[in-house]
Chains A and B, each alone.
Chain A
């Protein structure tokens, strides 16, 4: 490479060597950046512990898949592709940018290895990367400024949206791409003019274009373009770096760490405090999040990492029906609190004030059904459920619980079910089956069975859902397995008790059920309630318990193993169009999507379509357990919204595999005025009807 122009490393401006600037700018900016980051770390240091240093292999895998391979981005195709281009452009150009910084001090600096063929490939690649990023930025700018996708909008109560910030950053990036290309193009144009062997510029790139435009420019113009573009790049580069931790573009730095530390297990709720066992909870002074510093450091990293992309809220069923909850603002309000109380300049403002009713509102936090759609969608591993549950724990600890939830919670404490029904009536649903077969009720001391059917409260006591219990028992009977139910020894599984923040009550229910199940000496647990399935599988954490299976898994196994065969649908049913609604606690939280569909497809004559929102994008029916008692502010019920989605798909029968989904969807059908046109049925009921 032969320099025709004077490099910024040797150039003088009115007698001042510009190398002074190329040395000073990085030093000052790096110091400033380090200072800002140190300030940003302060609330994380003050926050509660979080156990995130385990299982490095799984965490590295997540980084490779979710961060590096941008796994979740294409779920929103346009925005996803634009982001992927900019992301990879940044990765590729990071080497070049660092090189440029050093070139301002030593004009001939090249990273080791880049003076070989690797460099030839790299420099061509980075030319295309810069060009692609530039185009992506222009598209993003037009989209953001003119098309204004709805999910970026701010509801009035949340203040100004972040459009200006987004546009400013797009401007920074575009300037970086242009200045980087111009710097090089000026030199190459000068080389061509001087007749020396010009450096390679990849065809059809920004640099190539600028070079061709400048071939006839005066030497001094080229020299000016070369030096000015260098310093524009240098200044914008470091300004951008220091701007990142001030807003939503902090994710450029934090997302790598956030993805590394993201949750690995699904379906579970974190302990009240890491390092404090379930049997030591009484020793804790306070439960849950009350002060901001009661969040864990990972929660605060989540707040910092939110890119305000709006995907969580776009998928949130509570947000969709007008409840006062929008997950992205859980993050953004948390971030703004951290920025405001741990400012870059000035003293930290630490208070013991309860954040409930200040940053977050009670209704907002009770509105969540814990369906998990937000976490499923987040491209950078931000969590919501644990934070919401921890804030509920804080409220429960202060006695701040909606009146509508107090009665069922008290009944759960006294009777083991939210309805206040007598324990001894828990197995009453079996009476109707007496003519067909006896259900083994494991209430006596030495009663035992191979499989335990864990019924749970709603299916035991709700008149409509008792039909699901009987259908499940019929299936188990037909499959020829030795099964029993716990009867009065069973208490509510506690999935929602835990998720509504009543941890001590959950612990009591859990301990009671574990003891009852172990005493029954069963080898396996089957349940038709995904909430019970989830909590036993993911929250009970007991080595003594046998494996638990949802009836959909049991059925899929029986059908593929030939233990159960299903009759063809009769003509009436065969005319109908079926769809399967994924219950959150079976689907998203436990990734059981295929088994229930396989069971449906094993019924001859059944025509099945998918709703637009299915599998891991399933739309919550409105929630189960205690959520049935909560009276939210909302414009429409989630169940009604879901039923309308089924209507759009031309569905006449919605099959689900959860008693709460069935309740909410059946209500939804009535409220939507679709009775007679549409019906809902549980997978167990349908199979019990068709089993040979």
Chain B
């Protein structure tokens, strides 16, 4: 099975203190550290496990700048065979539809049976997977937490409301967005990344993909960010302040007084 996994480089929410910049149109990006979007690690792990069991190869792909190469290498250190970086000045400022269009062009350059994405990205809107499937006219399933290959088909499990599980059958080729918890992604250390440090990662731009530069990027974006702010405290909301201990004490007190705990 030839599997393509779409990954994204994002600021790591666990290792950053996210603040809004002074212009109020983005987050403060100095001092940020980036990593692979958490969901994507699960997608790559799942792809590697599928290939280990059923043969084939895993390719990881991302749309981004030169720095995005680092996340491709990390995923290749996990065991993905190939990496493709989609990078072009024309791609900058793309909305979700733009990213999906770029990925679609790349998918058509290859011969993939299965395309995986993370269910969503830390700083995203969970839209690329679905749009990509629609553009490719492939069947699509979201929030997948189990994959069992059959003949030309997959049996897939999906997490649905209330923690319930449903199982579906889906025809290949298809697009799946992967939920965390589907597996336990393997660890990638510095040694693993160094081992793939010299592997060639081809970069493809708009012309390589046969894309009209005007169809993607900021100009073509139909969704534009207008504002970026920390919501104001609404009525009934209360921010607890102080040291962790103090916050815990206050919270317990509140829960007790409101009857949450006895």
Contacts and interface: CB of A to CB of B under 8 A. Distances in A.
Nearest to A411: B15
Contacts of A403: 184-185
A401 B187 contact: yes
A398 B191 CA distance: 11
A148 interface: no
A399 B194 contact: no
B239 interface: no
Contacts of B31: 422, 424
Contacts of A420: 12, 14-16
B187 A463 contact: no
B102 to A, nearest CB: 28
Interface residues on B, range: 20 to 34
Interface in B169-212: 184-192, 194
Nearest to B45: A399
Interface string B29-43: 001010100000000
Interface stretch (A150-158, A502-510, A532-540): A502-510
B99 interface: no
B164 interface: no
Given A282-B194, A414-B35, A502 B189 contact: yes
A400 interface: yes
A415 B190 contact: no
A421 B16 CA distance: 7
A426 B33 CA distance: 16
A231 interface: no
B41 to A, nearest CB: 9
B33 A409 contact: no
Interface string B238-253: 0000011000000000
A508 B190 contact: yes
B17 interface: yes
B78 interface: yes
Interface in A442-481: 463
Contacts of B12: 410, 414, 420
B117 to A, nearest CB: 21
Of listed A287, A400, A420, A508, residue having the most chain B CB within 10 A:
A420
Nearest to A415: B15
A497 to B, nearest CB: 10
Contacts of A406: 185, 187
Contact of B187 (A400, A421, A503): A400
A396 B187 contact: yes
Contacts, number: 60
Given A282-B194, A414-B33, A424-B31, A409 B15 contact: no
Contact of B190 (A413, A421, A422, A463): A413
A407 interface: yes
A99 interface: no
Contacts of A410: 12, 15, 35
A399 B190 contact: no
Contacts of A424: 31
Interface string B1-39: 000000000001011110000000000000101010000
A504 B189 contact: yes
Given A399-B78, A403-B184, A463-B244, A505 B14 contact: no
Nearest to A507: B190
Nearest to A413: B190
Contact of B33 (A398, A415, A463, A504): A415
Interface in A408-440: 409-411, 413-415, 420-422, 424
Contacts of A398: 186
Given A403-B184, A414-B35, A422-B31, A396 B189 contact: yes
A625 to B, nearest CB: 16
A300 B190 CA distance: 30
Contacts of A679: none
A175 B127 CA distance: 83
Contact of A463 (B14, B15, B35, B243): B243
Interface residues of A, number: 29
Nearest to B186: A399
Contacts of A199: none
B47 to A, nearest CB: 14
B33 A401 contact: no
A115 to B, nearest CB: 68
A648 B190 CA distance: 47
A422 B33 CA distance: 9
Contacts of B14: 407, 411, 420
Interface in B40-81: 78
Nearest to B33: A414
Contacts of B184: 403
A192 to B, nearest CB: 79
A397 interface: yes
Contacts of A397: 189, 191-192
Nearest to B17: A422
Contacts of B188: 399
Contacts of B191: 281-282, 287, 397, 503-504
Interface string A373-411: 000000000000000000000001111110101110111
B35 A401 contact: no
A409 B35 contact: no
Most chain B Cβ neighbours within 10 Å, of A398, A400, A504, A505? A504
B15 A399 contact: no
A447 B35 CA distance: 33
A125 to B, nearest CB: 60
Contacts of B186: 398-401
A274 B185 CA distance: 32
A432 B156 CA distance: 55
Contacts of A421: 15
Contacts of B243: 463
Interface string A594-621: 0000000000000000000000000000
Nearest to B15: A420
A180 to B, nearest CB: 60
Nearest to A423: B31
Nearest to B74: A410
Interface of A: 281-282, 287, 396-401, 403, 405-407, 409-411, 413-415, 420-422, 424, 463, 502-505, 508
Closest 10 CB pairs of A and B: A399-B186, A420-B15, A401-B187, A504-B190, A504-B191, A414-B33, A399-B187, A420-B14, A406-B187, A411-B15
24 contacts: A287-B191, A396-B189, A397-B189, A398-B186, A399-B78, A399-B188, A399-B192, A400-B187, A401-B186, A401-B187, A403-B184, A403-B185, A407-B14, A409-B189, A410-B15, A414-B12, A420-B14, A424-B31, A463-B243, A463-B244, A503-B191, A504-B189, A504-B190, A505-B189
Given A282-B194, A403-B185, A422-B16, 6 more contacts: A396-B187, A399-B188, A406-B187, A413-B190, A463-B244, A504-B194
Interface of B: 12, 14-17, 31, 33, 35, 78, 184-192, 194, 243-244
